[in-house]
Amino acid sequence: MGKGTFCCRWLLLVGLTLLLVACSNRGETDLPEDGQPSRLVSFADCEQLQSYLTESATLKSTLETQFSSAPAADMGLDGGAAEALQVDAAREYTGTNVQEAGVDEADFSKTDGDYLYLVTGGNFLVFDVWPAEEMIELSRVAMEGNPFSLFVEQDKALVLSHVWDFSPLDEALFAPQNWQMVKLSLFDLTDRSAPKLLRESYLEGGYVDARMVDGRLHLVVSSGVYTSGIFPPVPAGTESMLVDTGAGTEIDPALTFPRILDKIYAADGVASTVDEICPCENVYRPETGIGTGLLTLFTLDLADPLGKPHSVSVLGDSGLIYASADSLIVAAQNNNIWAWRPVAESSASSPQASTFVHKFTLGSAPGYAGSGKIEGWVLNQFSMSEHEGVLRVATTEPAWVTGDQPENRLFLLQQNKETLEEIGRLEGLGDPGESIFAVRFVADKGFVVTFERTDPLYTLDLSQPTAPRVAGELKIPGFSTYLHPLANDQLLAVGREGNSTKLSLFDVANLSLPRELAYKLVGDDSYSEAEYDHHAFTWFAKEQVLALPVTAYTQTTDPEGYGGYDVFAGLHLYDVSAEEGFSLRGIIDHEQFYRDEENRLWYYPEPVRRSFFISEENNGDYLYSISRRGVLANDLLSLDEAVSSAELPTEDIYWIYPLEGDGI
């Protein structure tokens, strides 16, 4: 390593010790006259980055004490959209339920119509699932840490894991500074019965989100640095990041900037390299600070799976992620209490809810495109959508921030050089006291659900981005948390009414007159993961069937009952139509995986979490349901008996239920 390179890295590390935790505020003089950050600014070199962070560090103590009693923001629930893919001319299957076609989202299960890929119980598993009657486990690979999600792209699998135990790592080569890392494991699946490990990448920091577009992984990781005064206790066996310099306790400069350990596996051994998570020249800062860490977009092109990855970083808080086929949006909200910036000296006691929106282009190497700032906070990824060059973002400013009522707004932003400029907005969505609970954009239309006591569905006409308007409104009991667009200008909604999961079917063909065609209350004391995770929602368009995970508790006096309750942890199948509404076609019960009658014990009743359909001409339609303990395959024509099943690896968690005369 040359002297210049060493000096550059040392300056960067020292600079980040001074503030990755206080890059949140540079004073009101940095705001343009319109109050909007015009762009992110890159650094010419590590010395410039160090200078910026040194200046920012002087504000740390002020930010740590300001607004320390404010409550945390409720980020709400999540949502998504189904995608049916063709395997060949005769077979089709339902893939992961995603927001945008062609933009895959990380999840713990994937299928390609021939195989099922799972990460569960600390393992990466591959099943042959077609034909359904012959479902069989092909391979099982024990994974380091906690594997939680994956992607599959043709003959490559990418498994994402959380890693907290660093003892297996060579400390002399790589001594992590954070308490957790995101690990990326790349497998060759040419032989599904024996996945071959090609690469392992350890990134310092926490997982934010990930997308797969055109065979390229785009992984977002959030990193941070602790300083004296807010640094938590060091876990046993972990080397402290703090060193005593004699003049006080400081962060060890050798352990400050997030790094990546990359291992490439080949026939002649393992090649390991360690580098910064992002080059200095690819680090950007907002003109007005927004946070206390480093947000990195990491891209790996599977066309060159062993090639060098690309990365770009933003100094600031983590945020919510939205991605289209062409760009990735980071909505970084100032709900970190250290990062709030009063709009004027006189309002120093009143935090302002705002969101910085950063746009990055996607491709073989990610690039920064532009930024903007809007009022309020976004609910989830569905609060954002890009259409014909216009980014639509729905926000809520909470009542505890406004001091009066929640404020719901819709912003329409368009890129002008390196600024996301507001070209249109809608104010006052919802009645007084209501906040946004669900959003969905479909082409030049928008649908927003607000809630306090009733469920108003607002239809939005966005065909003129500079003049968006509320076209119609419908008020019904309960509320929706996920909106799923169907053919024929219909919306299928999942939400709640009282203590029941609620399904609704809306006709939105006439935006000025939305109608509820049908609704279904699943049952008392019921809930579904699909209410807050759109990946649990499966729509099979060919048969117009909804597969919905359901867990329900019913009180019983039956001594065989589960602690006084009958428990259902399975799947409901509903035929859905405008004419008939919701008709229960049948249920899939996973009780066989968690009830142990012989030992008078029940395992914890694991709910069904995912499902998918495979359909082949002349060979029928099959439903596959997945819980943490097992997989079932059922013929849609005969749901009573599974045609095949498979148990999954998991720890045994027993819940004792009393039988008559046995006591407790």
Place of tokens 């003892």: 167
Q: List the 630-635 sheet strands across, edge first.
A: 84-86, 91-94, 608-616, 620-627, 630-635, 644-647
Q: How far apart are CA 625 and CA 491, in angstroms?
A: 24
Sign of CA dihedral 133, 139, 144, 147: negative
Neighbours of 492 (CB within 10 A): 21
pLDDT at 651: 64
User: Within 13 Å, how many C-alpha atoms sit on residue 415's CB side?
Assistant: 19
What number of H helices and E strands is found in the chain? 5, 49
Q: How far apart are CA 355 and CA 277, in angstroms?
A: 25
Predicted TM-score (pTM) of the model is: 0.83
User: Within 13 Å, how many C-alpha atoms sit on residue 230's CB side?
Assistant: 13
Q: Are 312 and 278 in contact (CB under 8 A)?
A: yes
Strand partners, 158: 151, 186
Residues whose CB is less than 8 angstroms from the CB of residue 29 and which lie 6 or more positions away in sequence, other chains included? none
pLDDT at 96: 97
pLDDT at 452: 77
Name the residue among 11, 46, 19 with its Cα closest to residue 280.
Answer: 46
Q: Please give the C-alpha separations between residue 619 and each of 51, 88, 625, 637, in angstroms, as whole numbers.
A: 67, 14, 19, 12
Q: Are 180 and 164 in contact (CB under 8 A)?
A: yes
Q: Which residues of the chain have pLDDT under 70?
A: 1-40, 45-89, 225-256, 287-292, 335-351, 453-454, 555-565, 595-604, 651-664
Q: Are 100 and 323 in contact (CB under 8 A)?
A: yes
DSSP reduced 3-state for 243: strand
